[in-house]
Amino acid sequence: MHYEFKLPDLGEGLSEGEIVKWLLKEGNIVKEDQNVLEIETAKAIVEIPCPKAGIVKKLLFKEGDVVKVGEALFVIETQENEKDIFTDAVHAHYEPENEPKNIFFEKGSLATPKVRKSARDMHIDINKVTGTGTNGRITEEDLKKYAEVIKPVAEYGAVEKIKLHGIRREIAEAITKSVSLIPHATVIYDAIVTKLAEFRERAKKKAEGIGVKVTYLPLIVKAVISSLEKHPYFNSTLNTETNEIIVKKYYNIGIAVDTQYGVVVPIIKEADKKDIFQLAREMEELSAKARLRQLILDDVRGGTFTITNVGAVGCRLSIPVINYPESAILAIHRITDTPVVIDGKITIQKLMPMSLSFDHRIVDGAQAARFMNDIVRLLEEPDWLNAYL
């Protein structure tokens, strides 16, 4: 019996992934629940197990191909008795070139995986190509003819073409989805964090004894959660099908991490239940895993609100894009010593700009202002953080 293994639902609204590495070859024996390939999504690189045992007959995609959820990845030959598979494998002989070509429909287009990959490589929307093959199947020649029709204007100098793939491609798609579906609005605030810097120095001394590095980020996370508790719509999503605002009663905070492969957002689960040192340790561990591409899917699932620290790379001000399907994202920026007028006198204070982008379908500007006012107040008078040391 032949069994087609299809890319399973990856959750979190993920509809496709890029094959990073096959963990098997044609002719290999596969055990039940054995990991068979690595898939890279917008969230992480994950290993996918096969639910059945059998002999691999044909791999339908190559490393680097993009596969949609529900598409067949490979074909295995199964038997009722798993023992028979391993016994018969000794005598098995398989020549993949003798197998009929696999044909797949993609949004109404009839084409082989090879032709579909060629279309992606050529940046051609295969649904716009007219097929001249059997039953309207699209051929490589059809792609070439179509490419001539849409041939771009000649360049006026040297160029380098870099394929958009992996995390970068996923980021591009996620950003496009966010800005096309969510009406963004942004408010910008300054927080005087002179006292927060002093508090951090005290926390750092205590953290040294337990081997933890305390940055400003765990302190900001605590302030954000406190404000989210008062303004729950910033911890929600909008279900357009049911016309409902889904307010989350838990606080899973995403922390954007800059890696050489692109920005990823690991999630600190139940951040409200953790103290400053626990948050600091978990941020450090997740950031390290992100940069080493060792995050698992559970590390990046279930976020309710995202914080991005663009100040870490020297940014003075930015307008962040919401991490769909969340309702808001906070960007924190570079802290600078700045002249500030306090009680009619000019003093040098540590100033941290912050910008909040929010879903204008769910909340209005006045609500965003109140949300940010509370965060600023908490950061400027940080004695309340002593309870989390």
360 catalytically annotated = yes
Token duo for residue 360: 């204008």
Q: Taking a C-beta distance cutoff of 8 angstroms, is the pair 246, 327 a contact?
A: no
Q: What's the CA angle centered on 339, arms 338 and 342, to 5 degrees?
A: 120
Cα–chain center distance at 372: 26
End-to-end CA distance of the chain: 61
Indicate the SS3 state at residue 143: helix
CA distance 298 to 336: 36
Q: Taking a C-beta distance cutoff of 8 angstroms, is the pair 104, 113 a contact?
A: yes
Whether the ω angle into residue 49 lies within 30 degrees of 0, i.e. cis, is no
Angle between helices 365-380 and 217-230 (to 10 degrees): 130
CA distance 206 to 339: 31
Cα–chain center distance at 207: 31
Sign of CA dihedral 214, 215, 217, 220: positive
From the candidates 165, 184, 231, 360, give the one annotated as an active-site residue: 360
Please write down the long-range contacts of 203-210, taking CB distance under 8 Å and 24 or more positions apart. 203/276, 203/385, 203/389, 206/277, 206/389, 207/277, 207/280, 210/277
Token duo for residue 84: 């028979």
Sign of CA dihedral 294, 70, 10, 44: positive
Q: Taking a C-beta distance cutoff of 8 angstroms, is the pair 363, 327 a contact?
A: yes
Please write down the long-range contacts of 161-165, taking CB distance under 8 Å and 24 or more positions apart. 163/121, 165/18, 165/64, 165/66
CA distance 265 to 97: 42
Which active-site residues does the annotation give? 360
